[in-house]
Structures are given as structure tokens and as C-alpha cells.
Amino acid sequence: MNAVHTSSMANAVRTLSLALAFSAHVKADYLPDPKAAEAALWASPSVAQARGDYAAQSLRSQSLQQGREEWKLDAEVDQRRVQTTPSDNFAEWGLALSRPIRMPARAGADRALAGALNAHAEASLGEALHESGRLLLTLWFDWLTQSSQSGLWQAQRQLAEQQLASVNTRIRLGEAPRAERVNAEAALAQIRLQQQQAVTRMQQARNRLLAQFPSLPLTADTPPPPAQPGLQGSAEHYVDAVLEHNHELFRARRQAGVLQAEAHKLAQHGSVDPTVGVFYRNEMGGNEHVLGLGVGLTLPGGARRTDQQAAEQLATTAQDAAILLEQRLRQEARADFETAHAQVENWQQADRAAQALAEAARLAARAYELGEGSLDQVLLNRRLALDGRLMAQQTQLEALAANARLKLDAHQLWPLDVDADSAHAHP
């Protein structure tokens, strides 16, 4: 066999081996730019709706703090007829101005409810940000996986084309039967189909990502596969960090706080409602003028007490639900941490298997070059090596996605905390 042909095949095998092992040796920034990701999250539809709800709730809270008691103006016109001899008719009219009085205890209850409603709206906005972050990670890693696998199929296609060229050379030299050309062409056709399908899946994943986060910048080239993730800290430390920043738990607790504040407000409404006002009356055709002060009391009925009891029951139920939610979130956080560790181990095992299959494919190709093996065995080993690397790459990206999810839930990836200033600062 000529030296040029042997060197060409060896270079081709090394090219594929480097492409397949790329994910194990290249460090890359595989996550979106933090500032771009933050802007994309704030621009997402669910967060935009939550921001609108937050702004509306802020206005409702202002209304509660100011009080709903309003001035009331009454006017009346009448005709007085005096049955005397001779009888007289007198035009009369009157004006009254009154306003309910909000007692200090009731005003305090209203302000407490306003604060609880604002806190709940803030927690809901934070939860919307968190859920959008999870969605972004899911779509991002889907796109990253499909892009990386498309790159592997591209490398496999190049190798199959080189293999076909090598077979044609051997046939011309009389070193291989013509039937091997059919096998090599069939293998190349199949790989071209797989590559085309991989490109289609990559484009679909990219479109799904941009449909949800159109402002997120994506590179035109296939993102390079990242290196092995590392998990820092213990499970207990991670669980505490998650619960310290969990917006779902915040929202449940603040929902209970809203119901408690409503129950307290209704308790304050169980007393009488005073109304104070002044009135003026012009009587007897202007011969009499009456100026007075009026006081009214609205006596509470049984419905107020029933409403208060219902609110207290709802508050108790919400508190119990928040306790159960905390227990569930604690268990889920621990399970997520353990799963992330297991996925790293899965990737390490898959990577070792892929390296062994790649070495077997290299040896089979080398044996074929030396005339000691068959093309069918080369093609089989090469396909097994590719399947092994595809699996290793998928498990690697799953491990990276799990690691990113841990950081997101612990608020160590992107800024997800919300306050009044940040809620209004973002466009």
C-alpha cells in the first residue's frame, strides 16, 4: 500500500478522534452572557405580565393606605305647607356633608394588608423570573445539545467521504473488490441523512429558544462542547441556599400573610362604623336657618363575623400549606443535588466507554489500511464509536444542565432577587 494513502487515512482517523473527544478537553463558556440572560428574562412574556401585576398591586396598596372613606354630599329641596288661615307655602332646601371616620386600629390594619399584598406581588414577580430562568436553561441546553451533535455528524461525514475516497483508491490499485465501494457509498448516504436531520433538529431548537427569548444573542457557529462540571459544597449547604432564595416558598408564605392581614382587617371591621358630618337647612322660606352636626353609626351584622372566620380559616390553611411546601422543596432540592452528582458520574462512565470505542474504531481502520481487516468491520466500529460519543456528549450536557439548574435555584447563576426599584427599572 502506498505511503500517501496510509498517511491520509491516519490523518482522517485522528481528525475524527479529536472531534469526538473535543468535549472532554475544551473549556468553553457554554452559558449565555449573564447580562444578556438577565435582559432576556425581564423581557419574557411571563415576567412582563408579573411586572404589570406588581405595578397594579402597588396602586391598590396605595388605595388601601389612603383609605376608601370618601366625602358624601347630600342635597334636598322641599315644599312646606302650613295649614293656617290663610294657608302658607314655603320653599325649603338643605345641604349635608358627611364622611366615614377610619379609626386608628382600622387604618393600621389597612396598611398592614397593603404591605402584605405588595410583598406577595413581589414574590410572584420573583417566581416568574425564576421559572423563566428554568425555561431559558432548558431551551438553551436543548439547542446546545443539538448543535454539538450536528458538529459530530459533520465530522463523521468528512471521515466517511475520506473513507470512500480511500476505497476508490484501493479498488484502482486492485487491493479491494468493487463491492466495497457500494458499502462505503451506502454508509456515506446514511451519514449525510443523519447530518441533515441533526441540522434540522438544531434549527428547530434554536427557533424554540428565540421564540421565547428573542433578545438573547446566539452565536452563528456551533457552540463548542464544555468541560466537566464541578459541584461545590455539601447537599445540606445547597438545600439551605435554595430555601433561602426560593420564590415559590416566599409566595406561599406571603399568601398566608395576606390572608392573615385580611382576617385582621375584618376583625377591625367588626366594630361600629362612625360617620360624622355637618348640615345646613334653609326653612320657612328663608325665615329659619339651621346649622348642625350629625353623627351616624353603622351597626355590624352577622356577616362580618362570618367573613372574619372564613378569612382566619383560609389563613390557617395557607400557613399549613407553606409548611408542607417547605418540606417538599427541601426534599426536591436534596434530590436535585444527588441527581446532579449522579449525572456527572454517568458522563464520566460514558466518556470512558466512548474513548474505548474510538480506540477500537481506530485500530479497525488501521488494520483495514494494512489489509488485515474488512471494510464492514471498520464501518461497524466507526458507527459504534460515534454512538458512544453522541451518548457521552448528551450525558455531559445533561450533567452541565443539572449543574446550571443547581446554581440557578441557589441564586448563584443570574440575579433573580426582586425589589421595588428593580421591578420598575427594567424595561
pLDDT of 178: 72
Cα 403–chain centre separation: 16
Q: Beta strand pairing status for 288-298 and 72-82?
A: unpaired
Phi and psi, residue 276, nearest 5°: -120, 140
Residue 412, Cβ neighbours under 10 Å: how many?
A: 13
pLDDT of 229: 56
pLDDT of 312: 87
How far apart (Å, rounded) are the C-alpha atoms in residues 427 and 373? 65
Across the range 119-127, mean pLDDT stands at 88
3-class secondary-structure state, position 333? helix
3-class secondary-structure state, position 224? coil
Across the range 120-143, mean pLDDT stands at 90
Query: What is the DSSP secondary structure assignment for residue 231, as one 8-state letter?
Result: -
Question: pLDDT band at 100, cuts 50/70/90?
Answer: confident
The domains of the chain, with CATH numbers, are 32-148+203-425 (1.20.1600.10)
Across the range 77-99, mean pLDDT stands at 80
Q: Which residue has the higher pLDDT, 178 or 296?
A: 296
How much is the pTM? 0.73
